Structure 1
């Protein structure tokens, strides 16, 4: 077998084994599940943001709530903040790409909402600014980053800093963490 393929798979497994062995990270998953359940039950939203592959992951996870995960059930109010291309391109052009998420969060976010920011470095300026706006508005912040957490670390109420520095391994783990959260939130909001 191609040695590179084996090494990539082993690196992915190793990253996930480190997450599995991290009792603190597992406890944070339970806490975030409870926070999102409470938000949905109170009529609040869960909003997602990221760039590039992380934007795709943000949209994917938002769809797990607004569409469905396992259960046929009512939609949950969740959205990825980059999906309105007219808004995105206008604000990026007229103001700055750095404020695309913070400006929208300022417009539609309310206290008790949850914003999930995905950034492998933890330093994406537009996600960092969104978290700063969230803090001002009483919006709960959940950061999914790489090993050191970057600038998002002090702005995250709940931080999942995946123990890796390789972007693909981080993103694979973000989807794993996101899927766990989505599955268990759905199960708690819609028991039975």
Structure 2
């Protein structure tokens, strides 16, 4: 892919966010409502999406642009010891679902990030959220995969380019952080 084609693909994915604006607004309501009620976000993803999960949690517990109270968020992708324990004992498909089962409390929100929507551990995490009666958001791409129908709110980037989907996911994370900063002190 040429440099110009890469830029065009990323810009197209960002522009396409207009087509899922109702889902974006719903996701924002879920996130803001969860935090307003002092509940936590449980965020998960694999690979680059794991980095985005950690990034989102960091912006909430730490800060985005302004100093404000720390907000409750956990990146389920960040604890290597826990991931290897669950992966070894229960299988890699359960690394997020098992953490949700142990850490989630009523009113918490599961945020799953996957550029394909077909990662078995993301699908299992969304099943676990549903079994526990939790709301969930999924940031997806490439059609949404198996995760889309499981998420309470699926934000499926209308692009087949995984990198462009991840870039759009990061844009959405920052957009949500802007909203959070504007409503929390």
Is the structural similarity TM-score above 0.5? yes
| Alignment partner of 2:132 out of 137, 141, 165 | 137
Q: Alpha-carbon deviation of 1:6?
A: 0.9
Instruction: Deviation per CA, 1:27-86: give whole Å up to 9, x if none.
Output: 222222222222112121011100001100111111111111111011100111022211
Query: Which residue number in structure 2 is paired with residue 171 of structure 1?
Result: 166
Query: Which residue number in structure 2 is paired with residue 77 of structure 1?
Result: 72
* Aligned residues: CA RMSD: 1.2
Larger radius of gyration between Structure 1 and Structure 2: 1
Distance 2:13 2:82 in 1: 37
1:42 matched to 2:40? The reply is no
Distance 2:44 2:13 in 1: 23
Note if contact 2:49-2:113 (Cα within 8 Å) is conserved in structure 1: yes
Distance 2:56 2:50 in 1: 10
Note if contact 2:69-2:184 (Cα within 8 Å) is conserved in structure 1: no
1:118 matched to 2:113? The reply is yes
User: Under a length normalisation based on structure 1, what TM-score does the superposition of the two structures give?
Assistant: 0.92
User: Under a length normalisation based on structure 2, what TM-score does the superposition of the two structures give?
Assistant: 0.95
Distance 1:86 1:14 in 2: 39
Distance 1:189 1:132 in 2: 31
SS of the residue corresponding to residue 95 of structure 2 reads helix
Distance 1:140 1:185 in 2: 18
Distance 1:18 1:32 in 2: 17
Note if contact 2:64-2:181 (Cα within 8 Å) is conserved in structure 1: yes
Q: Alpha-carbon deviation of 1:17?
A: 1.3
1:57 matched to 2:52? The reply is yes
Distance 1:38 1:46 in 2: 11
Query: Which residue number in structure 2 is paired with residue 15 of structure 1?
Result: 13
Note if contact 1:47-1:81 (Cα within 8 Å) is conserved in structure 2: yes
Unmatched segments (≥5 aa) in structure 1: none
- Indicate the larger mover: 9-18 or 29-38: 29-38
Note if contact 2:142-2:162 (Cα within 8 Å) is conserved in structure 1: no
Query: Which residue number in structure 1 is paired with residue 101 of structure 2?
Result: 106
Distance 1:157 1:189 in 2: 24
